[in-house]
Amino acid sequence: MKSPLAPGIRVITSFSRDSWYRGFILFLTFLFYTAYHLSRKPISIVKSELHRNCSTVPPPSDVNVTNNETWCDWAPFDQDNYQTLFGVLDNCFLVAYAIGMFFSGIFGERLSLRYYLSFGMLMSGLFTSLFGLGFYWNIHSLGYYAFVQVMNGLMQTTGWPAVVACVGNWFGKGKRGFIMGVWNSHTSVGNILGSLIAGVFVSSEWGMSFIVPGIIIAFTGILCFFFLVEKPEDVNCAAPQHHSVQENNETEPLLRNSVNGGTVANGAVSTETPEVVEEEHPEAISFCGALRIPGVVEFSLCLMFAKLVSYTFLYWLPLYISNVAHFRAKEAGDMSTLFDVGGILGGIMAGLVSDATGGRATTCCVMLIAAAPMLFLYNYIGQKSLGITIGMLLLCGGLVNGPYALITTAVSADLGTHESLRGNSRALSTVTAIIDGTGSIGAALGPLLAGLISPSGWNNVFYMLISADVLACLLLSRLVYKEIKDWLRRPLRFRGFERI
């Protein structure tokens, strides 16, 4: 008599070979982009160490602090315009990232994703480490740090279009919102780990706050080179179905119009299941062709304002907490991770709701509307007590990062595999780069505006963020209207039941 299999083996054998590969690719790309964000975070933690309140710092016995109120600061950030200088560093990275992103998708479609990602992570590790080496080399030149930020920004553009293209190649549309909502938590996980790692060294040797993340992302680049599989076909796995049978007869509300003016079939419904034909296009899609995909322009502009808010928090929240709540650099950095924890939950919730309703634009709009008053409340009551601070950071993080996560993942993948492309899988990287590149313009503007506005008071910074949230919501109004109109016109199918 055959002995029963061990429970663990039964679990392992219950998954198919394809499922194991898909899980492995999802984990691997999660790890890659966690490393990308982990290496971006240290500068926001180190800011409060580069310029400190020296009156609260015990001076060393060998330092003359008479008539020197900035003896503990790191030049050139010991000046009164230090916030502006921090804004310059942020924008050197973010402007380079925004410009480079538009070209990154084009390169990503024409080069091997494995080589492209490996090169990008190795170079990102180099330039992240070079920033930290400025501490040990005693460099006080703004030009040096600005140059390193520009080069790091360009290298970091290799990440997002490539990982989204890879995941889009492996996963179909059915549960894409939920899967990518969970997967997109790499952004917040990377921010959290980056904050914690930088916080360990920030008060003693802030250079290590950059060098350690630099080593980590370089190591993941080596893993990418040895283990990444770009497409299911490369290992004889089944390709995912990007469009359901229903979508062949009935397009989705926000993607109803075809780029090429596609036809709609009328007449009796056949009882046979139509074959989904995917045509191979050897040539990559053009930039203008990607812009003509319905929904690309609206979601790109919406992401610009959503990312403005998210990246302002990414780069300025620790300094805000330090200034307003009077926390030390490490404590402020640790507290700021709660915003990213909320972002993980918000991204997953946005994916689940949008999968269940089919309303990507409506889900984003509702969360953006709710985020505006929450930002106002956080600024006015967020520091009243520790409990309120924790609760407001989690709530604001979820509402701010939820739409950002949904647009950069599920929406980008939906549009990059839109039925009007007729199976041209090489469009995904370009579409993703356009959407995230436009969003990165907002990511560059947010920290810059925060640096310029913050000297006049943090209240004005929050008014700017609230205005950006409202504008992001308004830009989706046409798509929201089409989704609601479509729900009223035909049955609204939720997972598990339907409303007629």
Do 124 and 36 touch, CB atoms closer than 8 A?
yes
Tell me: the pLDDT tens digits for 7-54?
877 777 777 888 899 899 999 999 999 999 999 989 988 988 888 777
Whether residue 44 contacts residue 317, with contact meaning beta carbons closer than 8 Å, is answered with yes
Give the model's pLDDT for residue 154: 94
d(CA 31, CA 70): 40
- C-alpha triplet 20, 353, 15: angle, nearest 5°: 15
DSSP assignment string, 222-259: HHHHHH----GGGGTPPPP-SS-HHHHHS--GGG-S-T
* Element spanning 492, H or E: strand 492-494
Q: Which residues pair with 12 in a beta bridge?
A: none
**Whole-number pLDDT of residue 414:** 73
> What residues have CB less than 8 Å from 134, skipping those under 6 apart?
144, 145, 148, 207
C-alpha closest to that of 314 among 194, 150, 180, 202: 194
**CA-to-CA distance for 189 and 185, rounded, in angstroms?**
6
pLDDT averages per 10-residue partition of the chain, 500 residues: 75 82 92 94 87 74 68 84 86 89 79 93 97 94 95 93 84 67 84 90 90 97 95 85 48 41 40 42 63 83 92 84 78 85 90 85 93 91 82 92 85 66 60 83 86 85 93 92 84 47
The whole-number pLDDT of residue 318 equals 83
Amino acid in position 260: N
Residue 217 pLDDT: 97
How is the chain split into domains, by residue range?
13-51+75-237+284-489
Q: Residue 94's closest CA among 452, 443, 381, 358?
A: 443
Q: Give the chain's length.
A: 500
Please give the CATH superfamily to which domain 13-51+75-237+284-489 belongs: MFS general substrate transporter like domains (1.20.1250.20)
In this structure, what DSSP letter does residue 427 have? G
Whole-angstrom distance, CA of residue 157 vs CA of residue 436: 10
Confidence (pTM): 0.73
pLDDT at 139: 93
Contact predicate 416/168, CB 8 Å: yes
